[in-house]
Amino acid sequence: MSAPRARLGVLVSGSGSNLQALLDACAQEGFPAEVACVVSNVPTAFALERARKAGVPAVVVDHKAHASKADFEKALLAALRDAGVEWVCLAGFMRLLSADFLGHYAGRVLNIHPSLLPSFPGLHAQRQALERGVKIAGCTVHFVDAGTDTGPIIAQAAVPVLPEDDEKSLSARILTEEHRLYPLAVGLAVTGKVALDGARTRVDAQTTVGESSLRSPGAPRS
């Protein structure tokens, strides 16, 4: 009998292309996780449509409808608990989570960020990279702590920065890698292949995690 799949709660605020990559990975036989619910703090987020289309419960917890951050996070936790969520994946979620919230899912909250951390945390990472003139950019999946994009790094993917790049073209190149990297990192984390070691992680990536999620960079999507 195959192991039960880890139940993911994906938190979103916008387009949800990384959510889509996770939904697609979860739809593959053998992938060790399923999306149990999607929660958006923005009622109009397109990510909610993606969830509904995939038959996944889509919940709005609007931060503006709550008097305090504590109340907002309480509602968020309730939505995740109602759906039996075991792991939380931030996918373009534009709110900072408190240490108190994170304590409820200790070591089980992941984020994807469009830079090679620790360079360029925070907003407009791709613009920051262009302004600084780096020649290599990329994306990072990391555990979430109470800082801004400061948690232990699980996996990274690099892309070149081309002389003619603008924010749009660089973001698109990075996003392609994000869609490959996030399912890979989630698969590793939920199967216990990622061990926290202080501020770092030790990753056993020798194992296959679902058919198409473990591919070398640049390999075509199936």
94 burial (CB, 10 Å; 0-12 / 13-18 / 19+) is middle
Does 113 bind ligand GRF (CB under 6 A)? Our answer is yes
* Cα–Cα distance measured from residue 156 to residue 105, given in angstroms and rounded to the nearest whole number: 23
177 binds ligand GRF (CB under 6 A): no
Residue closer to ligand GRF by CB (options 73, 177) is 177
149 near ligand GRF, judged by CB under 6 A:
no
Is 113 tagged catalytic? yes
What is the distance between the alpha carbons of residues 213 and 23, in angstroms, rounded to a whole number?
12
Tell the smallest beta-carbon distance from residue 122 to ligand GRF (Å): 10
21: left (phi over 0), alpha (psi -120 to 50) or beta: alpha
Query: Residues 113, 124, 142, 179: which is the catalytic one?
Result: 113
**Of the candidates 10, 18, 80, 153, which one interacts with ligand GRF according to CB under 6 A?**
18
Nearest to 177 by CA among 144, 136, 211: 136
Pick the stretch among 30-38, 109-117, 183-191, 199-207 that binds ligand GRF (CB under 6 A).
109-117
Q: How many Å separate Cα 65 from the centre of its chain?
A: 25
Q: For ligand GRF, which is the closer residue by CB, 158 or 192?
A: 158
Which listed range, 35-43, 111-119, 160-168, 203-211, lies at the site for ligand GRF (CB under 6 A)?
111-119
Ramachandran region of residue 187, left (φ > 0), alpha (ψ -120 to 50) or beta? Answer: alpha
* Number of Cβ atoms within 10 Å of the Cβ of 159: 20
Instruction: Tell me which residue has its CB nearest to ligand GRF.
Output: 92
Query: Which of residues 126 and 201 has its CB atom nearest to ligand GRF in the complex?
Result: 126
Of 114, 151, 152, 183, the residue at the interface with ligand GRF (CB under 6 A) is: 114
Out of 32, 92, 183, 187, the residue judged to bind ligand GRF by CB under 6 A: 92
Determine contact, residues 9/36, Cβ cutoff 8 Å: yes
Tokens of 8: 């993911």
Residues annotated catalytic, as ranges = 113
